Chains A and B, each alone.
Chain A
Amino acid sequence: MTLDELQPGVCCTMKDMTADGALGQRLMDLGFCPGALIEIVRNAPLIDPVELHLDGYHVSIRHNEAKHIEVEA
């Protein structure tokens, strides 16, 4: 399943990533790598983007980008 399908409050583990190029690089730079523990914290008031908790810090990404991250709840 992909990260954008999960609801706020859920924790998951990252499995793989289907993005490359700038998006892939950016995600990897911020610590998205297999085995990383990701918590979905909250959606923005207008649903998009979504705030995640990862490795002790918070990062927000759009659902469109979250679609590229494969996770396991």
Chain B
Amino acid sequence: MSPRNLLVALAGQPNCGKSTVFNMLTGARQHVANYPGVTVEKKTGFFDLDDTHVELVDLPGTYSLTSYSLEERVARDFLLGDLPSVVIDVADGANLKRNLYLTLQLLEMEVPTVLNLNMMDVVERRGQRVDVAKLQEILGTPVVPTKAKKGEGKEALKAAVKSLVGKAHGPVYKIDYGQLEDHISELEAVLVEDPVLSVQYPVRWFAIKLLEGDAGVTELLTGTHLDAQKVFDRVESCRQRFHKEEGHACERHIAFTRHGSCAKIIRETVTFPEEKRRNLSDRADRYVCNRLLGPLILIAILFVLYEISIVFGNWLALQIWPLWGALESFAGDVLPQAGFLNDPILRSLGLWVVKSITAILNYLPIFFLLFSLIAVLEDSGYMPRMAFILDRLFRRFGLHGQSTLPMILGGVYVGGCAIPGVMATKAIPDERARLATIMIVPMMNCLAKVPLYLILIGAYFSDVAGSTMFFIATVTLFMALPVAKILSITVLKKRPSAPFIMEMPPYHVPTISGVLRRAIERVWLFMKKIVTVVAAVAVVVFVLINYPGLTDSRKAHYEDMQDAAVAAFMADVGRTGFKDEIGSEDVLPIILFGEAIRDAKRAVTDQDRAALIDAEFQEENPAYYAVARRVGKDGKALNKSLKKVIRVRKQIRREARAERFETSFLGTMGRALEPVTQWAGFNWRINIALLSAFAAKENSAATLGSIYGIDGSDQSVQESMKAGEGGFTPLHALALMLFMALYPPCVPASIMVRSQSNSTKWMLFSIGYQTLLGLFVASLVFTGGTVLGLTGVQAMWGFYALCVATTLIMAMIPTPEEKEAVVASNITQVNTIALKEE
């Protein structure tokens, strides 16, 4: 009887069309998570096989199953630990020789394997022929050809999976390792003695892995075997004897033999066309990777990417905004009613949280477009070309060719977002370069930094606005590159740096469904992570800026103001026909009633519809309606009086809020930080704005707005800031802009840093060093500029020159690899000289 629930794994090398096969089998029934404890994405999908429910797990794409890379370890641990009933090994039919390398390793692990020859359409187009029956006979395991892109071969693949379930395994292809076989048997004999290990793991595979010197298997042995040291001694002796006999290391012999076996199988099963044709990809690469055209095409593509995702995405976000606005007003309706002076805590906290979330949701269209475009770039095969073109340049700064995309997303020019940027570092195989990239992406100019720039430029650099914008947009790159270099030769020095070996797959036309699926998947994952975190952080920040709250005497002061306003209104009521209908307790309800009418009629352009709304409100409460909508002589008179009350209410609410803000925990912090930040020219008001920006950078502008009390007045933030900070000079503004540019990642981005670096320590480091660097740079510019008596513009370009110079100097310093390479070549030189002398 077949089991009712079946675990099937999908393995395959990169670029073999594995995700297409995955989607073909599972359709929309899939979800994404991470493998426990690591940042490798784990995709799970489901499909039915008659009455059996199958869970399909997509293993990371790997060329091999060693333990040098995280992906390979994850894939292997899954095969060994979760024991899938069947493994579908997807192979690129047109590149069978290389793909078989993984297949043979799977067979060696003794997992029931179905070999899926995918991309058979490409095989046919190239005029190759694969003898499937012969291949199946040689391998001793089912071989199924498919054209997953066209959905062909799905049923055959399922049938093959079914044929393997619950059946005793026949003899499968075994690689003959020749001279090594004796050593393998010798180790097998030792391993078989251990009762636990020999049941848990395939013994021959274990022996081969030990001979290969595989770190992961060595660990396994230490963990499971009772007398591991004895086995290690034996392995060591085998390896040494083999090296002596054959003249090269075991691992090399094993890999070379595997390749030999692949080549042999290919000779027997695949026929290639006589003439070799240059395929389309080769011809395209002649231009795409061309010395002159390549960089130009790259810039053009990045420009289009930026235009569509940021510029068009911003427009789209504006169109969608009413939706989030509706969410906010819906929350406003559901939550308890507003008070005259203070709102109930449930209302203010609820609105605060909803507003924080909608602020993030506002970026959703941008993320969606970004993720779609990235999926297009990935599926088309352009990504590796991008890395190919830029690797040399980035290498000089300790980054990687593949760091380009994260930096673009973060906002190399103006208007990115660090969250997708940090997310995109996942693809970088070099650990050191990856971390360096994660550390500098938040220094790019994300969209949320722009409002503050605009306020400051408007207030202090309005005569040179264009060039100032250019300055702040480009100077960040010249700050980020040297920082990346410094980090990679200091704190990241010890991190493993992987060799740059990258496949350049042929170009593919991406499918719409594939792109959409990927984009939606990522957006969803992002939402789940971010929205929960943002909600939690919003609560904390709310407490920080609202508590401990006003003192009793100040509260009494505001209440007196309120009472006076209400009393004046009531005196007016007494002179009208409403004196019996309206009491002092009705004042607030009337105000809210008026607001409700305004809200209901917002965005209603149809006259009849508006009249209908009016009629409904009038019916609900004629007296309130008369006052709010100026009906009749009394209504008009009272409306005038009501407006005064509303004005007073707004004023005292604003003043009370500003006061609460100043005396809040965050406000106290802002004052406490003044001794440090004075060197950068920041007073406590600026400190509060900067502190509140940590939750989300838009807050800096919003906070400045509420500090300078702009709501309700017609003044813009820059005008009221200029008025409120008489002593401010352009130098202050410049220091503030530079601090903002270097500002630590906001909370959601920090969470992303944590999840991508897989360590809280790196997140804290990222926050810490950027804060210190920002303070240092701002102090340097402000204090330095003041001492030297520079104007804002002089200081700006002086600083620019300094950054460019630092970048150039940093490019000159050799990376650790280059140092090693120099040492290595010196040694070879010495050796050759020594040899010659002999």
Contact = CB atoms under 8 A, between A and B. Distances in A.
A31 B502 contact: no
Nearest to A68: B499
Contacts of B500: 49, 60-62, 65
B612 interface: no
B256 A44 contact: no
Interface residues of B, number: 46
Contacts of A46: 389, 391-393
Nearest to A50: B388
A70 B256 CA distance: 15
A55 B63 contact: no
Contact of B503 (A34, A41, A59, A67): A59
Interface residues of A, number: 37
Interface of B: 63-64, 66, 68-69, 94-95, 97-98, 101, 249, 251-252, 255-256, 259-260, 281-282, 285-286, 289-292, 294-295, 384, 388-389, 391-393, 395, 401, 496, 498-505, 817, 821
Contacts of A20: 249, 251-252
Best-buried of B289, B292, B295 by chain A (most CB within 10 Å): B289
Contact of B388 (A22, A34, A49): A49
12 contacts: A26-B63, A26-B501, A28-B64, A28-B255, A42-B285, A42-B289, A44-B389, A45-B289, A49-B401, A51-B285, A55-B97, A60-B502
B821 A64 contact: yes
Contacts of B66: 25, 29
Contacts of B498: 22, 26
Contact of B98 (A21, A26, A27, A30): A30
A23 interface: yes
Contacts of B101: 29, 31
B392 A31 contact: no
A31 B251 CA distance: 14
A29 B63 contact: yes
Given A28-B64, A46-B391, 8 more contacts: A22-B69, A22-B498, A27-B501, A41-B285, A44-B391, A45-B295, A58-B503, A58-B504
Given A28-B259, A44-B289, A45-B291, A56 B392 contact: no
Nearest to B259: A33
Contact of B64 (A29, A47, A59): A29
Contact of B499 (A31, A36, A56, A65): A65
B503 A33 contact: no
A41 B63 CA distance: 22
A59 B501 contact: yes
Nearest to B290: A45
Contacts of B505: 57-58
Nearest to B63: A29
A61 to B, nearest CB: 5
B509 to A, nearest CB: 18
A29 to B, nearest CB: 4
B15 to A, nearest CB: 8
B289 A31 contact: no
- Nearest 10 CB-CB pairs, A to B? A46-B392, A28-B255, A29-B64, A58-B504, A29-B63, A33-B259, A22-B68, A48-B392, A23-B499, A45-B291
